[in-house]
Structure formats: C-alpha cells, structure tokens
Structure 1
Amino acid sequence: MLKQAFFKNIFLLIPLFLFSIEIFSQQKYWLEYNARLKDVPEIELENLKAELKNKYQEDISFHYESKWHPVISIETTHEIATELSDYEWINSITSQIELVPTSLISTNSSELSYALEQIQAHYLMDSMKLSGKGVNIGIIDGGFMDADKEPSLLHLVENDQIKFFKDFLLAGNNNPFYGKRLAQDDHGTQVLKMIAGSNDNTIIRYGMAKNASIYLARTDHGIRERRLEEDYWIEAIELFHEMDIKLVNSSLGYTDGYDKRKENHSVNEVNGKSSMITKTAQMAAEKGMLIVSAAGNDGHNKWKIISLPSDAKDVLTVGATRFDDWSRIYYSSVGPEKLEYVKPDVACFAANGTSFSAPVITGLAACIWEYDSTLSNYEVMEIIKNSAHLNEVPNNYLGYGVPNGKKIHKTLLKKGLYNLSSKLIKVEVSENDYTIQIPDGIKEIVIYHKSSDKNVKEELTVSIESEQKFLIIEKEADIKYSTIVAQDRWLTEIMWK
C-alpha cells in the first residue's frame, strides 16, 4: 500500500535546488525580505525588485521566489550583497555557499543528499570507502518503472547489479522497468535511488549502497488496494530468504486504505503479533533477515500510528524528521502507546514520506554489513540504534533518533559498540517548572513532553534568541518526563516528581 505524504506533487513542482544539494557559487544568495510584504499587493514587492534591477542592471538576477517563506534567491556580487543589507525592507542576505554540506570537507568529490548529510554518511563512504559492495539487497515495492533511464541508477544497469526481478502483479512480466506513471509504478524507482543512487554528472550521492547487488519484487498496485497484496509481500519475503538475501527494504505499509472496507485493518491490530504480515516480518528477523520498513505517513491522519508490518519487534522501522531541527515531520507515523517496545526504531530526513527515509537506512545497513559480514541482523540494528541522537531516551515519535555515521565508524573500527561521551543530563524536578541553561551556539531546540518514559504527548520546537542563556520548562498536565534536545549536540531529560 503506497501511502505517501499528500504534498508529493507540490514538491515535484518546486525547483530542484530547494530539495537536493547543489554546488552553489559564492555569487548566489538568499534575500529575506520583511514578512509583512507578503500581506501587501504583489505589485509592491515587484516594484521593489524592479528598483533594484534598475539600479544594478545586469549585476543582479532574481531566481526562485519561495511560496512559503519571504525569501528570494538572487545572484549578484559580494559588494552589491553588502549594499543590499542596508535596505530597510530587506531583513538579511545569506550566501548560499553556507548551505554546502560539511561532508564536502572530505577528499571525496561527491556531494551528499540532505539525508546522507544529516546522518554523516561521509564517515563511512569517504573515510572507509564503503558502498555496499558484496551485499545483496531485496526491495519489495510497487514498481521500478524507468529505473533504467534514471541518471542516478544507470550504473546499476550498466554494471549488471540488478540480479533478479519478479512481478507478483502481472504474470509473465519479466521487465523490471515496465509500468504506468498513473499507478505510481515509479515509487520503487525512487526508493532504489535512495538506496543506491549516484549521479556522476551532478556528483550527487543519494544512497550509500551504490555497489550493492539488487533483487526486486513488485507486490503493490498504486491504484487498486487489496489484501491480496499482503500475500504477495509475504511470498516475496519467503522467496528472498530462500535466495539467502538478508537485507530487505520495504517502503510499503498496510492499514485501513483498502478498496473494500471489510479488508481494512484496525489500529488494535498494530500490536506486533496479530497480523499475518507482521508475524512473517518477525519470523524473517528470527531467521537472520534485516527488514527495514517505512513507519508510514499517517502521523497527521486519524490512523496516526505506524503501519503493518512495521510493528514487528525486530523489524528496523524508520520514521522521518525535518532537516533543520530533527523534529518529527508531521506526516511521520508514531508508535502505539500500548506497544511494549519503542517504535519507530530510528528516523532521518525525508521531504516526501517515510518511503524515502527507510531506504537511506537500508543503504547504511548495507555498508555496515559490507565492512563486517559476520554481524547478525540484530547486531547491525543495535549498531544503528546505538549511534542515534536519542539512543539514551528513545520515544515513540523518532525512536532512538537520527543515526550518526561518525559513531558507527568508530564502532566498526573498535569491533564493539562505541559510546561517545554521553551528552545526556538527567535531572529530577519536584517543582512545576525548571530553568535550564542553554549551551553556546544552540539556536533551536526540540522539547518532547512525555506521559511515560517513551510516549510523547507533545512535541515543541523553540527558537533561541541570540543572547538568550536560559529557558524555563514548565510541567504540563499528566507529563512525567520532558526531553530537551538540540540535534546531536545537547540532550537533557527532566523527570517530574
């Protein structure tokens, strides 16, 4: 069941530079103007732009104007950018060179997608030269249409890395690249891109496992939704096990969206043991397979919780975060409160659905297994979870948090779980509020108010003023814990008495 964030088509229409990393020259800038101009007739802003264009003529060019933010992308000289900062209606001028990911500091000439930058993948891809070579990856999805035409996947075809394909929907179809766009038959193509995509022309790496061997199974129809697709999913898992494929990505989830209402699941089934598809996923884990499963995109819907089979205890369930503050992005499904263990397990950035965060973690797992093929699936999961930024205080929004490539790098070299010095500060508070001191350089924090040690009742993002040194955290009704976190830089857990 292909359940994606509803704004998929909107994101596809926005220029590429907003959602993929490009190499920006020093002559490109973000121009942020006074937000109140959004409330005045468009002609006024156009007049202001015309004024600058008239004054600077060919020395300034206007590019994309954001629909969501009071921001325009411009190209000009450093001298003119400095002058523009004096205009009353301009709040700030920021060189886009500042957006170049820190991974570029490495000697590798490739540039990373947002998700790979977030998890610091360059520690494995650049420093350790890992690329999933020798690892077999099974992908169960809805179709891989035109994957042979996608620039970032051409190397898979040219190097004969796609080893197997089975179409469970269309008998006799042996062409993995067949499909219809209307039926979302390119969903698996985008998933494959986030596992193994690498574009030599634009030097962008989308996935970590570009040299892995790929095995494809098409089990899901993008338009018709039937329970029969779960049978196909189970059959694909069992087939992959027979083929000795230990690592499988599933960016499919099953909930209540079937064509026949009587086939719908109920939220009560999301308990890790009721549904047949969940039982199969758990059995696969017990047989040594690592199933990386998308948490689902119902975080803002009535269903809200993770989909099946992501509730299986030993499946590696992946949610989605925002890129800036690492908070849960609103569509990412959350773990059921009654579940005895934490779900999702980890999370990372995905602009358009957990379907595209799960394959990032699949590529990460492939690199770990490439380095040490003797590791069990449970050990690979533990390495990934132990590295994540909330690993000491996991919750049902992000699980153990965003994995850290640097920490995984050290773990693999040490051949044992490696713990960087703990950033966690635990405090017990008997009052109704607590004042915390904010470390230097922290600009944004996320607060998780929890009814138990893992169940989140409220997630808040707080912007820190430049001179702000303290923040008062107030106890909310029925809240027993509050986690205060700033990416992987700062972590405090308040236990309210």
Structure 2
Amino acid sequence: MKKLLLFLFLTTFFQASSQEDAWVFLKDKPNKTTFLNNPLTMLSQRALDRRAKLVISLDSIDVPVDESYYNQIKNEGNITVLAKSKWLNAVHIQGEVEDINNLLSAYSFISHIEFANKSLNTNGKTSSKLKTTAPNHYNKLNETLTDFDYGEADNQIKMLKGDYLHEQGLTGEGQIIAIIDAGFPNVNTLDAFQRIRDNDQILGGYNFADRNTDFYTRSSHGTHVLSSIAGYIENEFVGTAPDAKFYLFISEISGSETVLEESLWVEAAERADSLGVDVINTSLGYTTYDNANHSHTYADLDGKTTFISRGAEIGASRGLLLVNAAGNSGNKSWKHIGAPADAPSVITVGAVNASGEIAAFSSYGPTSDGRIKPEILGQGQNPALIDYISGEIKITSSGTSFSSPIMAGLIACLNQNEGFLLKSSNKTTDNFNTYLKQSVYESADKYNNPLDQYGYGIPNFEVALNNYIGSTGAVYDAMLSKLMVYPNPTIDSFNISLDTENLNDFTIQVFNILGKKVLEKVNSNSRTVDISFLESGVYILKISKDNQHKTLKLIKK
C-alpha cells in the first residue's frame, strides 16, 4: 500500500511539475472600432478626463482582449487560463509544453507564445544565466527588523521638504492613489485609518490573488505601506498625502513566488488606469521564482524584457505616475533592483536612514542597459509606520517598501498642482509627467553626481515644486518673451520691465499654486505691483495683453 501511495505521489508530482507558464500574445482586437467609438465601455469618465487633460489619445491598447479569442483559449481542455492583459493583448496560461505549443497552429489569431522558462522559447530574446544568487521570495516584502504635527513621522517628511508642499495646501486632495500590494488587513477597523474612512477616501479595491472583492485580508505588508501615505493619529502621525483618495489592490501572493504575480500586477494597473488613478505605488519587485527556470537574470532588467516592466511602460504611456520600491538586496550577493523598478518611466525609490545615509539593504542600479536606477531616495530604514494589529506607531521595520510610498504620497501632492498648470501652459501637455519627474530628480542632492546605489539622491520637494512651476510656465507671444519681473523672490512688491513702451492696458493676475486667483488688475499701466498682503509662498503670475500671455513663477518671501 505504501508503495502504491508513493507511486501515486510521484506520478502527481511529475504531472504537476510538467506544467509550464506562458503568455499567449494575440494578433489583433477585431472589435476595437466599436470600443473606441464607445470609450465609456473601456474607461471611467474620470479616466477619460485625465486622458483629455494630458492630451493622451485612446488607441487599441485601451481595448479589452477579444472575448471570443479569450474564450476559445479558455475552453481548451488541457490549458488553464490564469490572467489576461489588454495592454499587452496577452493571456497568461498554464499547461504542458506540447499543449501550449499546439495552440499556435490551432488558432490563427495567436501571434506568438512566450514561456516563462526562457529556454523553451524558440525565438525572441534569451538571457544568459548569471551566477549571482537572487534573493528568495520573502525579500520582495522584507521588513528588515532592526500645519500638521507630524509626530513620529516628522523626520521622514521633513527630510524631503514634504512639509513645504503641505504648507502650500498640497496635501493630495483631488489625487487618487492606487496601492498594489499583498494585503490590507484591519485598514477597515484601525483608528489610524478612521480619518480616510470618515472622509470616504477609500474608493474601493480588488483582490486579484483570490479573484474577489475582499481586499482587507492577506499580508499586513500593504497596511503598513498605506499607513505611510494615509495614516493619521492627531499630533502623533501623519502620512505624506493625507487628503488623497485610494484604491487598494492585492496582486501579490506572499507565501509563494510565481510569474503569475507579474500578470496580476498588470491587471491591477490596468484597473487603476480605467478608474482614473493618478499615482500607483508598488512596494514589490520580482527577480526570482520558486521555479528557478522562470527567474530573471540581471540581463533581463533592461526595462523591456519582463512582462511586468512592459506593462509598467504602457501604464506610464497612459498617463499614470508609477512609483516602485528599488528592493532590499543591496547587501546580498544579488544586489540589483527588480522588476518593474527597471522600467524607464517608473520612479524607482531606494532607502536611507533617518540621517540621510544610504541603507545597506537598498538595492543597486544601474539597469542592465546602463540607466540610472534608483532615481531617488527616501527614509526606508526604521521609518514610522502604523502597526496593523495594535494600530500604534512602530519604528522597527525597514525596507524600500516604505521609502517608496512615502515618496509616492509626495509625488501625488506635487501632481495636485497639475490642474492649474495645464490651463496656464502652452507646452505639449503629454510631457507634464516628464516635467514633474525631472523636477523631482533635479532637486535631489546628488543630481550632478549620481551613484549606483544612491541614484540622484534625496529630493527636496520645495525645490521640486519651484522647478515644476518654472518648467511649465508659458510664453504665448514673442513680444512678451523679453518681459522680466524683479525682484523675484520679493518681499512686498515686484516690478515689470519690458524693452518697449507698448505694454499699456495690460492685465495682471496672481494665482496661488492651487489655482485660486488672489490678485487681479485689469487694464493696468502700473509697472509696480504691491503684494505685501499675500502670505509667503509660491505663486503663479500671469500677464496678458489682448491675446498675448506670459505666465511665470513668483516667490514671495
């Protein structure tokens, strides 16, 4: 009997082990015209409004996977469908190699098939395996132990000059952040999240790992991540974007490591885009899998090889701001960042300690094709977080998992500025996310001397805000291009200078950075403007004559 049981076990084991993961890429989307003519069947109104604001057109990438194609693959008896992606027009399947390969000849609508085990692919990119050892699957979530009153969060916010954004009224209001993580237990009950619950700031979510709507479950990792952005205990703790709204998505299955999680992440990012999300934080990263044949090598970290990084790049092209943890492998034999942190358009965040010194565990760049990663750093060594059980503040966890959301919250606060800037600028608006990211990078302390583990260093969001406003100022007419405003910064007033006497009967408008008009002088001939009544801060100055306009940044000390 024991021999029979052993035989059955071995038979089952080898049958299970013969199952391979693969992505089936489809040739087209036959119903794309119908969907593109009815955009609300693909995207929410908020998503469409965001696309219009950023001047990003809808295209076939936004169209869902063809239902007929999907069902034909799903109905194959020897194939299991695990996920799908409209962005990549692909279906993630599992089955035996022969059965998977047979699909290519059976269905004319299949373009090609990519196996997770790259040695099974007959064409396309193959990677030579490096001898370095990648971290085990627990490291991607590793919490390495050992006019707000920010309390315990004071250092991690003020290190980045995030308090300056808050003082300017940039607290994330009007922004939607998606957290794609491993679970959010007790977010629905803890007092530290009472504020966002009472203000209806949790808009919803989804558990892609279990295919249900219970996202207040699974790993506590996501709860800790969310706390650094949205947690609030009066006079004791404030997150970096306390007034943002949130979607909570589970894509990570923390007890194992499989390539399916890459596909689930892409599905979550697609859902976020369809809902009109502005910023996505991902404190996850992928390098190695339980099936070693599926693991990535350093050569794969070029931003265009892994499924998840390809998805991330498409997400950025849809107007999403993607923020990702660099990883916690800096002091291990495998020291590199993971995917999708390698994607060119992703803002990759490493970690420092409370003094601004690099954390040894923070993963290294560059990417395999030589790009700077991580770009920026935040406090990831012993930051203040909310404990998912007690709801109390804890400072005993570390990882880029936390420097990333701290940064994502401030990115959302900076992006809050966008609505006014878009109305003020004549620049090509599909570059606004580029302007924002570049403004943050240029504000960092090592921008002129980036290093493999530091990237550009620790950003200064006061400088970043000023850079961002400056980079999106507008000149609508050649005559006004020589107009100067001085002194700037100023204390009580500023002067307007132009090499012409023709600037008469012009209009002066001053807006705060939230777009509220605080001063207007119509048909003015005065070259000196009193602003002594305004509070210190950054303002937008717009000078107009007929159809000619100039918009620029004004700083009042």
Q: Count how many residue pairs are aligned between Structure 1 and Structure 2.
A: 312
Q: CA deviation at 1:412?
A: 5.0
Supply the distance in 2 between the matched residues of 1:167 and 1:259 (Cα, whole angstroms).
Answer: 22
Q: CA deviation at 1:335?
A: 0.5
Contact 1:141–1:218 (8 Å) recurs in 2? yes
For residues 232-257 of structure 1, what are the alpha-carbon distances to aligned partners after superposition, in whole Å with 9 as ceiling and x for unaligned? 0111111212222231111110011x
Q: CA deviation at 1:171?
A: 2.8
Supply the distance in 2 between the matched residues of 1:109 and 1:195 (Cα, whole angstroms).
Answer: 15
Supply the distance in 1 between the matched residues of 2:269 and 2:178 (Cα, whole angstroms).
Answer: 9
User: Equivalent residue for 2:449?
Assistant: 393
User: Is the radius of gyration larger for structure 1 or structure 2?
Assistant: 2
For residues 101-149 of structure 1, what are the alpha-carbon distances to aligned partners after superposition, in whole Å with 9 as ceiling and x for unaligned? xxxxxx5444344311211211111x20221001011111000111123
User: Equivalent residue for 2:464?
Assistant: 408
Are 1:317 and 2:348 counterparts?
Answer: yes
User: Equivalent residue for 2:162?
Assistant: 121
Contact 1:137–1:246 (8 Å) recurs in 2? yes
SS of the residue 1:138 aligns to: strand
User: Equivalent residue for 1:175?
Assistant: 214
Contact 1:139–1:250 (8 Å) recurs in 2? yes
User: Equivalent residue for 2:309?
Assistant: 278
For residues 299-323 of structure 1, what are the alpha-carbon distances to aligned partners after superposition, in whole Å with 9 as ceiling and x for unaligned? 1112210001111111100001122
For residues 63-113 of structure 1, what are the alpha-carbon distances to aligned partners after superposition, in whole Å with 9 as ceiling and x for unaligned? xxxxxxxxxxxxxxxxxxxxxxxxxxxxxxxxxxxxxxxxxxxx5444344
Supply the distance in 1 between the matched residues of 2:260 and 2:141 (Cα, whole angstroms).
Answer: 24
Q: CA deviation at 1:411?
A: 3.2
Contact 1:2–1:252 (8 Å) recurs in 2? no
Supply the distance in 1 between the matched residues of 2:150 and 2:352 (Cα, whole angstroms).
Answer: 24
Contact 2:326–2:338 (8 Å) recurs in 1? yes
CA distance 1:217–1:414, change in 2 (3 Å):
same
Structure 2, unmatched stretches of 5+, are 1-136, 382-397, 423-428, 474-487, 489-557
SS of the residue 1:139 aligns to: strand
CA distance 1:260–1:336, change in 2 (3 Å):
same
SS of the residue 2:467 aligns to: helix
Query: Structure 1 segments of 4 or more deviating over 4 A?
Result: 4-7, 412-417
User: Equivalent residue for 1:383?
Assistant: 439
User: Equivalent residue for 1:3?
Assistant: 139
Contact 2:435–2:471 (8 Å) recurs in 1? no
Q: CA deviation at 1:385?
A: 0.8
User: Equivalent residue for 1:136?
Assistant: 176
Supply the distance in 2 between the matched residues of 1:6 and 1:210 (Cα, whole angstroms).
Answer: 25
CA distance 1:316–1:255, change in 2 (3 Å):
same
Supply the distance in 1 between the matched residues of 2:339 and 2:142 (Cα, whole angstroms).
Answer: 20
Contact 1:5–1:331 (8 Å) recurs in 2? no
Supply the distance in 2 between the matched residues of 1:189 and 1:319 (Cα, whole angstroms).
Answer: 20
User: Equivalent residue for 2:375?
Assistant: 345
Q: CA deviation at 1:408?
A: 2.5
Contact 1:123–1:409 (8 Å) recurs in 2? no
1:53-452 equivalences under 5 Å are 108-111=148-151, 112-125=153-166, 127-172=167-212, 174-179=213-218, 185-200=219-234, 202-205=235-238, 207-256=239-288, 258-324=289-355, 326-336=356-366, 338-351=368-381, 352-373=398-419, 374=422, 376-412=432-468, 414=470, 416=472
Structure 1, unmatched stretches of 5+, are 12-106, 180-184, 421-497
2:241 maps to amino acid: A
User: Equivalent residue for 1:469?
Assistant: none
Contact 1:136–1:212 (8 Å) recurs in 2? yes
Contact 1:267–1:303 (8 Å) recurs in 2? no
Structure 1 range deviating more: 367-376 or 277-286: 367-376
SS of the residue 1:231 aligns to: helix
1:250 maps to amino acid: T
Supply the distance in 1 between the matched residues of 2:228 and 2:272 (Cα, whole angstroms).
Answer: 20
For residues 130-182 of structure 1, what are the alpha-carbon distances to aligned partners after superposition, in whole Å with 9 as ceiling and x for unaligned? 2100101111100011112333222111221111211111133x232223xxx
Q: CA deviation at 1:337?
A: 6.3
CA distance 1:5–1:230, change in 2 (3 Å):
closer
SS of the residue 2:416 aligns to: helix
Identity of aligned residues (%): 31
Supply the distance in 1 between the matched residues of 2:196 and 2:417 (Cα, whole angstroms).
Answer: 21
Supply the distance in 1 between the matched residues of 2:456 and 2:149 (Cα, whole angstroms).
Answer: 31
Supply the distance in 2 between the matched residues of 1:355 and 1:186 (Cα, whole angstroms).
Answer: 12
